[in-house]
Amino acid sequence: MSGVVPVPPRGIARRIAVFLDFDGTLVEIAPRPDAIVVPLGLSRLLGDLAQATGGATALLSGRPISDLDRWLAPLRLAAAGCHGAELRRRPDGPAEPAAAPCCPDRWLELATRLAARHPGALVERKPFGFALHARACPGALPELRDALAALVAEDRRFRLLHAHMAVEVLPRGVHKGAALAALLDQPPFAGRVPIAIGDDVTDEDALAEARARGGHGYRVGESFRDPGAVRAWLAAVAREAGHAPAA
């Protein structure tokens, strides 16, 4: 567990709302999005945390919500997918798409051809755009970034989101900070102290929004050593809030 972030005392732990990134925060980063290993007990841990926070636990991920559900089944949480391009306000609610444009098919076709020139590069299609992953070919990242920057320059409705070893095309105004704000304005999140945890520049909007709302934003690698430390801290928070996992 991290020695930097103290576990809030019970009185505070019962009044927090928790917003969590997925890859790099709850699970270790993998070479490909479909190659992650979900730790045994993660779904149970998140379920305990959700119960301890009165349902005020949400995932904020670059993945589609359907992908999060698949990896964590049968658990369902409130969630923002694709960096906020889709939002599920309640675990049993629908994934609502943002009022945003979809990127031109031509851009995706060009990105696919570009990735084919770099063994290891991967195009990940998303509801409103796409991501180009270069973890297996890091030397290609500058070229991939420049090529996508030229595309989004054609249409100011879109922007580039730079991540660690990836670059993503998505609509302007779509980001995790806006998703956190939308959730925090309604039950069961409203009136609680937000705590957001992420690991990448793609999480900075959410971390900043949590701080602006009187809460805390923590980054893995700074406040927590690794995803294992995050999970241990969350388990301690769930216990402190009064919901100890069953033996």
pLDDT band at 243 (very low <50, low <70, confident <90, very high): low
**Shared domain check, 150 and 72:** no
What CATH number is associated with residue 61? 3.40.50.1000
* 3-state SS class at 69: helix
**Shared domain check, 166 and 185:** no
In angstroms, the CA 174 to CA 166 distance is 17
**Shared domain check, 72 and 30:** yes
**Shared domain check, 200 and 181:** yes
**Shared domain check, 38 and 133:** no
* 3-state SS class at 199: coil
Which residue type occupies 91? P
* Res 153: pLDDT: 94
Q: Would you please indicate which residues are annotated as catalytic (active-site) residues?
A: 21
In degrees to the nearest 10, what's the CA dihedral of 75, 81, 83, 87?
-100
pLDDT band at 1 (very low <50, low <70, confident <90, very high): very low
* Res 233: pLDDT: 96
Q: pLDDT tens digits for 9-42?
A: 888 888 999 999 999 999 999 888 889 999 999 9
Q: Is residue 186 part of a domain?
A: yes
Q: pLDDT tens digits for 63-79?
A: 999 999 999 999 999 99
Domain boundary among 128, 147, 171: 171
**Shared domain check, 163 and 111:** yes
**Shared domain check, 187 and 95:** yes
**Shared domain check, 155 and 71:** no
* Res 75: pLDDT: 97
- pLDDT over 50 at 2, yes or no: no
Q: With pLDDT > 90 as the criterion, what percentage of the chain qualifies?
A: 77
Contacts of 245 (CB under 8 A, 6+ apart): 44, 45, 48, 235, 238, 239
What CATH number is associated with residue 113? 3.90.1070
**Shared domain check, 69 and 16:** yes
Phi, psi of 111 (to 5 degrees): -65, -35
Mean pLDDT, the chain, as a whole number?
A: 92
Domain boundary among 119, 140, 171: 171
- pLDDT over 90 at 148, yes or no: yes
- Which of 3-7, 119-123, 222-226 comes out lowest in average pLDDT? 3-7
Average pLDDT over residues 80-94: 95
Q: Is residue 33 part of a domain?
A: yes
Return the closest-CA partner of residue 225 out of 10, 7, 25, 80. 25
Domain boundary among 124, 148, 171: 171
- Residue 150 has, within 13 A of its CA and on its CB side, a CA count of 8
Average pLDDT over residues 156-177: 91
Average pLDDT over residues 151-161: 93
Alpha helices in the chain (DSSP H): 10-13, 42-52, 65-72, 105-116, 141-152, 176-184, 204-212, 227-240
Report the 10 Å Cβ neighbour count for 210: 26
In angstroms, the CA 79 to CA 64 distance is 9
* Res 246: pLDDT: 42
- pLDDT over 60 at 164, yes or no: yes
Question: 20 near 58, Cβ under 8 Å?
Answer: yes
Instruction: Mark residue 233 as left, alpha or beta (left: phi above 0; alpha: psi -120 to 50; beta: remaining).
Output: alpha
Going across the sheet that includes 166-171, the strands are 122-125, 130-133, 166-171, 158-163
